[in-house]
Structures are given as structure tokens and as C-alpha cells.
């Protein structure tokens, strides 16, 4: 039997596979949110008094009394049981990029030994998981591990259906017994509250009287790869690290640009339809899906939602995506760079802020030069990105995203703001002390009678910008595909709150001195642009000229790795930012630094161990066997009087020796101990371990180009990327 019989069998299995049969579902209007206990179902299930109370809580954040909680709990339980649920779970979001859940039964026994279902308001409001094994950054010790989950009524409960039954899922916050936030939801809710408080000040100073609560909104474009499970299960690196640690480039990759927006493969199309039907039942507004740039890469984008709900839905989308892919015979890869030399995956977070009374405050309208509220809120974002660029880099810092940032498909690790030609001119005029009429984009006329003319956008797009204005929102393009959107949203909301507070103080002084609204706005924004305008950049973010000018002329920071980025969480300005806005206390912020730093170190160390293991147990035996075959062939031919060129054998031997030597060095580096600080340990991983991993890979990938195909043990790029 040949060494790669498993690989050949995998190819045969995939070639003969047909798309999984999926039963057609009802039309959208019938299945939409059918598994969600939303306000519509509450209105039907609750008394008028209880519904009015819970509606006010959901829409404005008003406190909910215990009596109403009991009524809601009873109705929620009856609805869940009618959907087949026997268990409930307070689902929460610890300081990782995954979700956590502990399931409890509705069942209790009575005095007669019978079983009944019960679910009280107290059970709805509070749960109590064991908090000892969740990362907490030294906030809690193992011997003092009590933690609480608490119901978040602003995010609707829902039913999760699996092959094992139905469970009522209750979105919740997670805190320690001593009251510190141990999750990603509490800071997000706090950041929204801080932004609302600051925004209210600005709106009132601008003469607004009817002001609903400010809320940020989010629409995250999720990119991902699908690899057939036959291949994925033969790759230890995909199973344990989520990316290929070895793999030579295929003869054809993405050079022809023939995958982007191309026809979706039949199996993938069936997966997408099945997946999106599940999303619709859970009230998640999946809007767009398509092939992405790289072969085997795809994207799904939901419609805008309130940030807190969008963050919950994003976590649910990732969970469902992986489970549904498995059902269809795929492995879903959310790693930012699963294939070297091939475009990686991001999660472009589209972010805006507004109220139900003033609308979207980042919508410039057709005449942005006259839209004073827009100019103030847009200016606040510019100031925030300039002051807190290192923070924005820190909240997207992971070991996996380091592979992507700065590459050709992702924005560089320098935080700048792209406004587009029209808005950049408006803010340049403001910097000079005036507001002139802004130019429209004009009409698109192709000179073809059958093609209708249409209004062109006033500015182009810039895919090299990490933080770009795109019509009526900002797009944070540098977020990693595997990340929770909560961290970036917390940072953006908080920096906006800080800038709005600064603007409110300046406006109050100007208006108090007798300035008109327009003059006050121009004066405040002129000062803002003079201090922070250096962050606005509309050119090529990939160019060497920009990298040099950004640092040397504009004073921006280029932060290439997570090891360089995470220490920003310890900077005094960042500690003050979160403390003054009430979003994170100093100890809560420090805990996040420790957790994220530990995750970074552990991720690289796990990958390094895998590199050693795969090099020694898979690649070395295959290469040695091929070298022996070459030697035997050479001896046999020599005995027949034919001398063969042995240059290939020499090259194979050289790469084997190089791989073995680099593997030994990598093992010695992993054994290093006694780091003086977390920062030193992270830098050693970035500058010491990763380069050695690359050396092992370089030799192994060179061997893949020499070793006979039937001997190579790992599924290759050309198979994983192109066979669907």
C-alpha cells in the first residue's frame, strides 16, 4: 500500500460525493425569527403591564422589577417547552473569542416523586457557573472561583436546535463574585452607555430637544474558508491550530482573479442555504454571500443591527457556521491566514451611531458641509483614532491576525482614517477655518442608451485603509475573522465617548462666549483637525512611502505584531480612557492584557509543538523514504552501467538536514524559561520562536517539491483549495 493511500482515498471520496440533501424550507416570512422570544412573541404571551415594562427595558435600558421578571420567565418557559426544550442555558462570552454555556433542566421533583417543569424569575435573572477555569487575568484565584451569569434582557432569548434536542439560550453577562467583568458583553454595554451620555451632551448643546438613547450599530462581513473534512482530518495542523503549518504553493493560486464573485460550487451553495435558513429562524439578517478572492474562500454579511445584538449574533453565526459545515462534510476555517501565500480572512466591522429621533449621526447627507451634527460626530471619530490608534491595534491583536495585517489583502498595522475625496476636502477646509460647498460625485453616464444613468458616489473606496468611511458608517477593516466583534466595538464606542466629551466641553465654551452654532462648530473642529488631522490619509496604505511618512512625518505608530500591540492596554492614557468613561476599571483592563498575552503565547507554543511533531513523524519519514528510493535506483542503474545525475538526491538530503537542524533549534527555544516579564515572553515568541518555525517550514515545503507524490503524507494546497 502506498504511503499516501489515505490522501488518495480522500480525493476519491470527494470526487464521488454529491451535495447533502436538504429539505426545502418555507418562505422567509414564515421562518423569520420563529425560534426567538422577541418583543413580538412577548406581546402575545405577556400581560399588557408586563409587556410594557419589558419593552421599556429592551428599548431604553430601564430597570426591570422582580415581579415582571417572574412573569417573563413563566412565559419564556412555556414557549420554550412548546418548542421541545427541556433545558435552558445562560450563554455568555468569556475573555476568549468563543462562547460558553452551562445547561440546566427545567425539571424539578415534587413530594409525590413526580417530575414537573419550573422556571422562576430568579433562575432567569441569575445563573452560577464555576468560574475557576475561565481566563480572568488574575482577577480570581482557583480557590475563590465563584462567578455569576446574569440575564441581558436587551438581547432576545432563542431556541438552539441540535440533533440532541432543543435548548433555551439566554444571552447573559458574566461577572466575578467580587463584581468585576469577566466577559466581553459587560464592557460593550458600558461603552454604549458612556457613548450615549457623552452624545446627549453634544446634541443638547446643538439645540436638539427630543433625543432618544444613542446606540452604536454593527454589520460585520465574515470571511471564511471551507476545506473538505476528508482533507482536514488528515492535517494535524488544521485540527489543532486552524491553519496549515506546512504546504508548498500550488502551481495555480489566486493569480487569475477568477474566484472572486465567481459561481458558487454546488456543495457550498447547499451549505450556504442550509446555514442561512438556520440564521433566519434565529432572527439573524444574513444579507449577502459570495465567493471571496482566494480559492476555497467565501463571505457572508448580515444587515446592520444594534451593536450588542450584533455581537451576540456574530458569536452565534460562527458557532452555527462550523456545525453546519461539519454536517455538509466540510471543515470551516476561521483562522485569519490558513494558507500561506493565499489571501487570508478578515471580519470587516461596519460601525455607526445614531438615535431613533436624530437618525444615523454618521450619515453626511447630500450636503455634508451643512450637516453640523455629522461633522461633529465624524470629527470625534477622527480624534479618537488619532489619540487611540495603538488601542485599536491592540483590540485586533492575535497570533493569527498577525499573519494577515500588512499583507496584500489586509490593511497595514498603521491606524489611519480614510474619508474619501469629498469629506477630506470638507475637513481640510475646516482646518483652514472655513466651510465651503462640497462637490457631489456627479452622474455616471456610459453613453449606452440601454444602461440607465445613476448618481456616482462622491468618493472612491480605499481597501488599503484600516479605518475607512464608507457612505454612512466607518468600516474597521483590520478585525480578524476569528475574533469577537465586541472588543473592537468597545474600543470604538469608548474613544467616541471620550471625544464627544471633549467636543461638548469646547462647544460649551464657544457657545457661552456668544458664538453662533456654525462658528462654534468650525472653531472646535479647526482645533481638532490641527491636533489630529495627521491621521487622515487617502493614499495607498501598502506603499513604502506611506509607511515611512506615517511614522517619520505624521507621528503615527507602526505596530507589526501582537507582542508589540498588547502593551498599549497598560499605557496610562488607555487606563485613563476606560476608567474615566466607566467602561473598564484599571484591574479589569489589566486582566485583559494578561488574558490576551497568555493566549498569544499559548497559540504560538502549540503551533511550534505541532511543527516539531509533524516534521519528525510525517515529513521526515516520507523524505527519508524517497531519499532511500533515489539511492536504490541510482545503485541499480549503476550496476547496469548507467550513471544517473544525483543532484536531486543531494538537494533532498540538504533540505532534510536543514529541517532536522531547524527542528532541533525550535525544540531548544521552546524549552527556554525564566522570562522577566510577560512582554519579554511575547517578544521571544514573536522574534525567537516564529522565525524558527518558518525555517522548519521552508525546508519542509522545499521537500514537498521533490518528494514523489505517492509518498507525500499531507493533503496539498492544490487539493484542499480546489476540490470541493
Mean pLDDT of 657-677: 96
Structure-model confidence comparison of residues 362 and 252, the more confident one: 362
What is the second-level CATH architecture of the domain 32-183? Roll (3.10)
Phi-psi region of 134 (alpha: psi -120 to 50; beta: other; left: phi over 0): beta
Q: Tens of pLDDT along 16-55? A: 676 676 666 777 778 898 999 999 999 999 999 999 999 9
Q: What is the structure's pLDDT at 587?
A: 94
| 538: CB partners within 8 A, 6+ apart | 418, 419, 420, 421, 424, 462, 465
pLDDT band of 106, cuts 50, 70, 90:
confident
Pick the closest to residue 158 from 301, 309, 23 (CA basis): 309
**Residue 234, all three cell numbers:** 488528515
Beta strand spans in 617-673 (E): none
Q: What is the structure's pLDDT at 451?
A: 47
Structure-model confidence comparison of residues 636 and 384, the more confident one: 384
Measured between alpha carbons, how far is 529 from 521 in angstroms, rounded to an integer? 12
Q: What is the structure's pLDDT at 1?
A: 37
Structure-model confidence comparison of residues 501 and 1, the more confident one: 501
Mean pLDDT of the chain: 88
Measured between alpha carbons, how far is 631 from 63 in angstroms, rounded to an integer? 79
Place of cell 470638507: 426
| 382: CB partners within 8 A, 6+ apart | 417, 427, 528, 529, 532, 533, 535, 536
Mean pLDDT of 249-257: 81
Mean pLDDT of 531-535: 95
Measured between alpha carbons, how far is 541 from 414 in angstroms, rounded to an integer? 8
Q: What is the structure's pLDDT at 43?
A: 92
For residue 331, report the phi and psi dihedrals to the nearest 5 degrees.
-110, 130
Does residue 160 carry a pLDDT above 80? yes
Q: What is the structure's pLDDT at 632?
A: 85
Structure-model confidence comparison of residues 681 and 367, the more confident one: 681
pLDDT band of 147, cuts 50, 70, 90:
confident
Structure-model confidence comparison of residues 595 and 60, the more confident one: 595
Q: What is the structure's pLDDT at 371?
A: 85
Q: Tens of pLDDT along 291-339? A: 888 899 999 998 899 999 999 999 999 999 999 999 999 999 999 999 9
For residue 353, report the phi and psi dihedrals to the nearest 5 degrees.
-145, 145
Q: What is the structure's pLDDT at 676?
A: 94
| 544: CB partners within 8 A, 6+ apart | none
Does residue 61 carry a pLDDT above 70? yes
pLDDT band of 564, cuts 50, 70, 90:
very high
Q: What is the structure's pLDDT at 529?
A: 94
pTM: 0.92
State the CB neighbour count (10 A cutoff) for residue 665: 15
State the CB neighbour count (10 A cutoff) for residue 434: 10
Structure-model confidence comparison of residues 356 and 6, the more confident one: 356
Does residue 245 carry a pLDDT above 60? yes
pLDDT band of 258, cuts 50, 70, 90:
confident
Does residue 454 carry a pLDDT above 50? no
pLDDT band of 634, cuts 50, 70, 90:
confident
Q: Tens of pLDDT along 436-452? A: 665 655 665 545 555 45
Q: Tens of pLDDT along 412-428? A: 789 999 998 888 888 88
Element (H, E) at 306: strand 305-306
Q: Which of 94-98, 198-202, 494-498 has the lowest mean pLDDT?
A: 94-98
pLDDT band of 261, cuts 50, 70, 90:
confident
Q: Counting beta carbons within 10 angstroms of the beta carbon of residue 598, is it exposed (0 to 12), middle (13 to 18) or buried (19 or more)?
A: middle
User: Which residue pairs, CB below 8 angstroms and at least 24 apart, start in 681-684?
Assistant: 681/597, 681/601, 682/562, 682/563, 682/566, 682/597, 682/600, 682/601, 683/563
Q: Tens of pLDDT along 678-710? A: 999 999 999 999 999 999 999 999 999 999 998
Q: What is the structure's pLDDT at 167?
A: 93
**Residue 523, all three cell numbers:** 472653531
Domain ranges of the chain: 32-183
- Tell me how far the alpha carbon of residue 313 is from its chain's centroid: 12
Q: What percent of the chain has pLDDT over 70?
A: 89
Pick the closest to residue 626 from 1, 123, 2, 114 (CA basis): 2
Mean pLDDT of 563-577: 97
Pick the closest to residue 83 from 152, 36, 24 (CA basis): 36
Does residue 6 carry a pLDDT above 90? no
Measured between alpha carbons, how far is 58 from 151 in angstroms, rounded to an integer? 12
Measured between alpha carbons, how far is 693 from 474 in angstroms, rounded to an integer? 37
* Helices 48-60/66-82 angle, 10° precision: 100
Q: Which residues lie across from 331 on neighbouring strands?
A: 227
The four Cα atoms 129, 189, 217, 395 give a dihedral, to 10 degrees, of -80
Q: Tens of pLDDT along 379-401? A: 999 999 999 999 999 999 999 99
**Residue 208, all three cell numbers:** 436638539
Structure-model confidence comparison of residues 369 and 558, the more confident one: 558
Beta strand spans in 258-327 (E): 286-291, 297-302, 305-306
Amino acid at each position: 500500500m502506498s504511503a499516501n493511500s489515505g490522501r488518495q482515498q480522500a480525493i476519491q471520496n470527494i470526487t464521488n460525493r454529491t451535495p447533502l440533501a436538504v429539505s426545502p424550507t418555507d418562505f422567509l416570512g414564515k421562518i423569520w425569527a420563529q425560534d426567538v422570544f422577541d418583543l413580538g412573541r412577548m406581546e402575545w404571551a405577556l400581560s399588557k403591564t408586563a409587556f410594557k415594562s419589558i419593552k421599556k427595558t429592551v428599548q431604553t435600558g430601564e430597570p426591570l422589577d422582580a415581579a415582571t421578571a417572574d412573569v417573563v420567565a413563566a412565559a419564556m418557559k412555556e414557549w420554550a417547552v412548546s418548542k421541545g426544550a427541556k433545558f435552558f442555558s445562560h450563554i455568555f462570552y468569556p475573555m476568549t473569542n468563543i462562547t460558553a454555556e452551562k445547561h440546566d433542566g427545567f425539571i424539578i421533583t415534587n413530594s409525590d416523586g413526580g417530575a414537573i417543569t419550573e422556571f422562576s424569575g430568579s433562575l432567569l435573572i441569575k445563573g452560577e457557573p464555576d468560574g475557576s477555569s475561565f481566563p480572568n487575568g488574575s482577577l480570581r484565584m482557583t480557590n475563590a472561583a465563584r462567578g455569576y451569569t446574569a440575564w441581558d434582557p436587551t438581547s432576545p432569548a432563542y431556541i438552539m436546535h441540535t440533533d440532541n434536542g432543543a435548548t433555551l439560550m439566554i444571552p447573559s453577562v458574566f461577572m466575578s463574585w467580587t463584581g468585576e467583568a469577566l466577559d466581553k458583553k459587560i464592557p460593550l454595554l458600558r461603552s454604549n452607555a458612556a457613548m450615549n451620555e457623552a452624545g446627549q451632551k453634544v446634541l443638547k448643546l446643538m439645540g436638539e430637544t427630543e433625543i432618544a438613547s444613542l446606540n452604536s450599530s454593527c454589520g460585520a462581513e465574515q470571511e471564511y474558508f471551507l476545506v473538505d473534512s476528508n482533507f482536514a482530518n488528515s492535517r494535524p495542523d488544521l485540527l489543532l491550530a486552524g491553519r496549515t503549518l506546512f504546504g508548498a504553493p500550488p502551481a495555480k493560486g489566486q493569480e487569475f482573479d477568477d474566484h472572486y464573485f465567481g459561481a458558487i460550487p454546488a456543495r457550498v451553495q447547499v451549505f450556504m442555504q442550509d446555514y442561512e435558513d438556520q440564521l433566519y429562524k434565529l432572527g439573524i439578517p444574513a444579507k449577502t454571500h459570495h465567493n471571496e478572492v482566494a480559492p476555497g474562500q467565501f463571505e457572508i454579511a448580515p444587515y446592520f443591527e444594534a451593536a450588542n445584538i450584533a455581537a451576540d449574533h456574530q458569536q452565534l453565526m460562527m458557532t452555527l457556521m462550523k456545525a453546519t459545515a461539519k454536517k455538509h462534510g466540510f471543515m470551516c476555517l476561521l483562522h485569519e491566514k490558513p494558507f500561506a501565500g493565499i489571501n487570508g480572512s478578515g471580519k470587516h466591522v461596519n460601525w455607526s451611531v445614531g438615535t431613533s429621533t436624530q437618525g444615523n449621526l454618521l450619515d453626511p447627507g447630500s450636503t455634508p458641509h451643512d450637516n453640523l451634527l455629522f461633522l461633529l460626530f465624524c470629527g470625534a471619530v477622527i480624534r479618537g483614532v488619532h489619540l487611540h490608534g495603538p488601542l485599536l491595534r491592540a483590540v485586533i491583536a492575535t497570533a493569527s491576525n498577525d499573519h494577515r495585517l500588512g499583507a496584500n489583502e489586509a490593511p497595514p498595522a498603521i491606524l489611519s482614517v480614510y474619508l474619501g475625496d469629498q469629506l477630506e476636502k470638507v475637513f481640510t477646509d475646516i482646518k483652514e477655518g472655513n466651510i465651503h460647498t462640497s462637490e457631489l460625485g456627479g452622474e455616471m453616464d456610459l453613453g449606452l442608451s440601454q444602461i440607465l444613468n445613476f448618481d456616482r458616489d462622491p468618493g472612491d473606496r480605499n481597501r488599503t485603509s484600516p479605518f475607512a468611511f464608507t457612505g454612512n458608517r466607518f468600516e474597521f477593516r483590520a478585525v480578524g475573522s476569528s475574533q469577537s466583534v465586541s472588543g473592537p466595538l468597545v474600543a470604538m464606542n469608548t474613544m467616541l465617548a471620550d471625544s464627544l466629551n471633549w467636543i461638548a466641553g469646547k462647544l460649551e465654551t464657544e457657545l457661552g462666549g456668544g458664538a453662533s452654532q456654525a462658528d462654534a462648530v468650525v472653531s472646535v473642529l479647526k482645533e481638532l483637525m490641527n491636533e489630529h488631522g495627521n491621521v487622515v490619509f487617502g493614499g495607498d496604505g501598502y506603499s513604502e512611502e506611506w509607511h515611512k511618512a506615517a511614522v517619520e512625518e505624521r507621528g503615527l505608530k507602526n505596530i507589526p505584531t501582537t507582542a508589540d500591540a498588547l502593551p498599549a492596554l497598560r499605557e496610562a492614557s488607555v487606563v485613563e480612557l476606560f476608567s474615566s468613561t466607566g467602561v473598564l476599571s484599571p484591574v479589569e483592563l489589566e486582566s485583559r492584557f494578561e488574558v490576551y498575552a497568555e493566549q498569544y503565547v499559548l497559540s504560538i507554543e502549540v503551533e511550534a509543538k505541532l511543527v516539531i511533531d509533524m516534521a519528525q513523524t510525517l515529513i521526515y519519514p516520507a523524505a527519508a523514504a524517497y531519499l532511500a528510493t533515489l539511492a536504490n535506483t541510482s545503485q541499480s542503474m549503476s550496476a547496469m552501467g548507467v550513471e544517473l545525475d544525483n543532484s536531486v538526491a543531494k538537494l533532498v538530503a540538504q533540505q532534510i538536514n536543514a529541517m532536522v537542524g531547524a527542528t532541533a533549534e525550535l525544540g531548544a527555544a521552546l524549552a527556554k524559561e525564566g522570562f522577566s516579564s510577560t512582554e519579554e515572553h511575547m517578544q521571544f515568541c514573536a522574534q525567537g520562536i516564529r522565525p524558527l518555525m518558518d525555517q522548519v517550514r521552508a525546508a519542509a515545503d522545499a521537500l514537498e517539491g521533490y518528494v514523489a507524490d505517492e509518498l507525500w503524507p499531507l493533503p496539498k494546497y492544490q487539493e484542499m483549495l480546489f476540490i470541493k
